[in-house]
Structure 1
Amino acid sequence: MAPHRLRKKPRVPDATAAPAPAAASDALLSLPPEVLDEILTRVDLRDAVRTSALSRAWRRRWESLPSLDIDIRCDPKDGQQALWTVDCILPRCSGRVRRFRIWLDKLSARRLDDWLLFLSRRGGVEDLELSPEHPYKFFSLHSTIFSWHRLISIDLFACHIPPLPLDFVGFPDLKVLSLCNVKLQQNGEYQLEKIIGTSPLLEDLVLSELCIGEDEDEFIEWEIQAPNLRHITICSNIDCGWNYAELPCLNSAVIDLWQYVGDLDFAKFFAGLVQVRKLNLSMPYAPVNGIKIPETLPCTFHNLKILKLFMHFRELPPIFSLFCFLRSAPNLVKLKIQICDGEEQKIEANGEFLNAQWTDGMCANLQILKMTGINWLPNEMSFMKIVLSKARLLHTLSISHDDDCSVSHVDPLHELVTYGKASSQAQVLFQGKET
């Protein structure tokens, strides 16, 4: 008798199983084209290209996107791959490139001019960000970008900026301009003035470590004209001749003039920021060339609510600058002081000295004083004490000491907690070491 053969049960499809890739892609294709475009533009560029493997219908789907973002951070080990990616994608995509962000290595820096010229033929981009992989490897920018009238954001780091073409008319839609560690031609001050002045929608301006021409001892005075500017950052170890026109919409500013450089008119410079609500100011060094810190500024910062200072209490100039600002900011609510130098103090600014600096109305609205990186030096203690004794609306004194501080916090902290306070709500909070 022949043996019975075992029959296998027919497999019942699992309703919970994931659909096959082809079925999933077909389901996606049933979506409206504008929804598919939105999906592909939201994913990473390389992921969008990889959808070509889903099915035949998806093989060239990404090439017909109405807009494309190219955002490539070059890995030194993968520079050739990044170069291949841009070279292959730009000619194949029929839509416009909205965002072009590249970290340039040696290979891609050589191809940059070709890429920018290709993008020019497409009408330019809206968001341009270029920086070399090494901060001291400068690249040269092609002047074709000055014809990109759709630009909304420009972020350039470590590059040579060419002269403006004669037919330059400005960037009518530009909102963000960030120039860090860039080099401009001789008389580049006029170039910056024109770029900023012909960008009527500019809201965010960053000028950091600019180099203009070859002679850093000579500069041409120029004016920042930006009626819609909301935020400005200026960081420089030289005076690049900047002055301000009226900035009625200015909300915040970060200013780091390393040594109150050159022949800078301290009062005139800050008068241009009078509308600001938040000010972050670095002033740890003594003035050079005999610049005198005024007792008060020629204007009053009525809108200033938050002031952050990067300073120390070892010498008089930073202390004078501190009181100069406190006299000029009657509506200040929050004051943060980050101590940047914990070495032994060179002068004594005791309570009697600081009390002589205090004027009526100073810190009348101050509610929060935050001191970070302190070393419990006598001058630091004297300042905290006078604020406790004078600020009637103060409710928080927050303290953290420097990571390398060798002085015990127990006795000075007890001294502050038990010190006489002008505000019954004032409390002293110790946050430990600065993080």
Structure 2
Amino acid sequence: MLPTGDSHAQPLPAPAVRQLDDLPSDILYKLLAGLPAGDVVRMSVLSQAWISRWESVPDLEIVILARRRRSRARRPPSVPSEIDLDDRVRDWESAAGFLERCAARVRGVSIRGIPLRLFDRADGWVRTVAGKSPRSLSLALNMTALPSLFACNPGALADLKLVTCVLPPPPPAFAGFRVLTALDLDYVLFSGEKGWERLEAMISSAAPTLEKLRLANIGFEHGAAGGAIPGAWIIQASNLRWLELRLTMAGAGSWELGHQPKLDYANITLNAHEPRHYGSMLAALASVRELEIGNFGCATYQEMKTFHQMKIS
């Protein structure tokens, strides 16, 4: 856990500190990057020279999450290593300060459970994270709009997971996250016009590298031609290996599957009330080795049916 001012950790003997200092920087940083972020920060007690050394360690893995408030006797230090916070403003601001002080790129960042009274600061924290060029980013927020997501380095971000977030239109020059290998969107609302086209573009821009895709409970703020029904869009990513679709909400629009020649596994839950050409969907899944498929209706939910070693012709 991240240290506080009253830490009781005992400094290592000077020879042990010198042994660490004698390591080549690349080896030392590789060792430190393999530790939880809080443990790296705690090493600032080793010596005067180590007080801020953690700030320059590249490839840290940082997790910031909310927790239920505990009794004072059992409460851990206020800014832990999985930076495990209750809803106190001071704790969340301390976590944001930790992110700001990381001078090097980070390997991954996960933020979950920002309190509602602080949700207006969430996008600013995402902008701070974006400046660290993370390769992995996981955000579970309270339907917060995230324009700063598009400030992430599109040539670095490889794994993106968004839960209960709002995605506004990207800047005009934004060309997509082109090196994504995994994309997971759950209860994500695309605000603004033609959100379905933006989701289609988000997938297709990553198609050369995208191997894992999960879309669940996607919604679009506006329908096509001023109506309530979103337009048609296609899921096309020819290198996908793993696919899960739970587009059971009517607001997901009229989606179709493009050909998926490398797909090993697919899990698809359909909306019983949407017209669909099942033949074309199954043809797109012709190469899949394992298929789980189910049907969702307003009154009933049919169990998933699993098919192994499929051959569709």
TM-score by length of 1: 0.57
Aligned counterpart, 1:145: 150
Alignment of 1:196 with 2:203, yes or no, is: yes
Task: Indicate the residue corresponding to 2:101 in structure 1.
Answer: 92
201, 207, 216: which one aligns with 1:208: 216
Shift of 1:27: 2.8
**1:116 matches 2:126:** yes
Take 2:311 and 2:108, find their aligned partners in 1: how far apart are those partners? 44
Name the structure 2 match of 1:318: none
Q: Which of 265, 271, 280 is the equivalent residue of 1:268?
A: 280
Q: Check the 8 A contact 1:248/1:275 in 2, yes or no.
A: yes
Among 31, 56, 64, the alignment partner of 2:48 is 56
CA contact (8 A) 2:196 2:233 kept: yes
Task: Return the structure number with greater relative CO, CA threshold 8 A, min gap 6.
Answer: 2
Contact 1:147/1:168, CA 8 A, preserved across alignment: no
Q: 1:126 aligned to 2:135? A: yes
User: Aligned partners of 1:191 and 1:47: how far apart in 2?
Assistant: 40
Deviations 1:349-383 (A, max 9, x none): xxxxxxxxxxxxxxxxxxxxxxxxxxxxxxxxxxx
User: Out of 243, 249, 252, which is 1:232 matched to?
Assistant: 243
Q: Distance in 1 between matches of 2:128 and 2:200?
A: 28
User: Distance between the aligned counterparts of 2:222 and 2:149, measured in 1?
Assistant: 24
Partner of 2:13: 22
Once the two structures are superposed, residues 85-137 of structure 1 have per-residue CA deviations (whole angstroms, 9 ceiling, x without a partner) of 33222332221123121012235533222222234444x321111003xxxx3
Cα distance change on mapping 1:92 and 1:20 into 2, 3 Å:
closer
Q: CA deviation at 1:173?
A: 1.1
The alpha carbon displacement at 1:146 in A equals 5.5
Partners of 1:253 and 1:91 lie apart in 2 by 40
SS in structure 1 at match of 2:19:
helix
Q: Tell me, in whole angstroms, the C-alpha distance in 1 between the residues paired with 2:167 and 2:289.
A: 32
Post-superposition Cα deviations, 1:181-213, rounded to whole Å, max 9, x if no partner, equal 111134211001111111121111111011112
Worse-matched range after superposition: 81-90 or 148-157: 81-90
Determine whether 1:44 maps to 2:36.
yes
Give the Cα–Cα distance (whole angstroms) in 1 for the partners of residues 236 and 135 of structure 2: 22
SS at 2:106 equivalent: strand
Q: Secondary structure at 1:195's aligned position in 2?
A: helix
Matches within 5 A, 1:251-262: 251-257=264-270, 259-262=271-274
Aligned to 2:67: 75
Corresponding residue number in structure 1 for 2:173 = 167
Partner in structure 2 of residue 220 of structure 1: 231
> What displacement does 1:329 show?
4.1
The residue type paired with residue 289 of structure 2 is R
Describe the shift of the 1:20–1:91 C-alpha distance in structure 2 as closer, same or farther (beyond 3 A). closer
State the number of aligned residues: 275
In terms of Rg, which structure is larger? 1
Q: Shift of the alpha carbon at 1:247?
A: 1.2
Structure 2 residue aligned with 1:420: none
Q: Aligned equivalents of 1:266 and 1:156: distance in 2?
A: 29
With over 3 angstroms needed to count, the CA separation of the structure-2 counterparts of 1:91 and 1:206, relative to structure 1, is same
Aligned to 2:62, the other structure's residue is in SS state: strand
Deviation at residue 20 of structure 1 after TM alignment: 7.0
Matches within 5 A, 1:317-336: 329=310
Q: Structure 2 vs 1, CA of residues 228 and 209 (structure 1 numbering), >3 Å: closer, same or farther?
A: same
CA distance in 2, matches of 1:271, 1:111: 46
Which of residues 277, 292, 302 is equivalent to 2:289? Answer: 277
> Offset at 1:50?
0.8
Runs of 5+ consecutive residues of structure 2 not aligned to the other structure: 1-9, 70-85
Instruction: Please list the CA deviations of residues 155-192 of structure 1 after superposition, one character each: whole Å capped at 9, or x if unmatched.
Output: 00001110132112122211111110111134211001
Q: Is the 8 A contact 1:116 1:145 kept in 2?
A: no
Identity %: 29
Q: CA offset at residue 285 of structure 1? A: 5.9
User: Which whole-Å CA distance do the structure 2 matches of 1:110 and 1:61 have between them?
Assistant: 32
SS of the residue aligned with 1:79?
coil
**Aligned residue in 1 for 2:164:** 158
Question: Which of 107, 110, 116 does residue 101 from structure 1 map onto?
Answer: 110
Give, in angstroms, the shift of residue 260 of structure 1: 2.8
Sort the Cα spacing of 1:112 and 1:244 in 2 relative to 1 into closer, same or farther, 3 A.
Answer: same
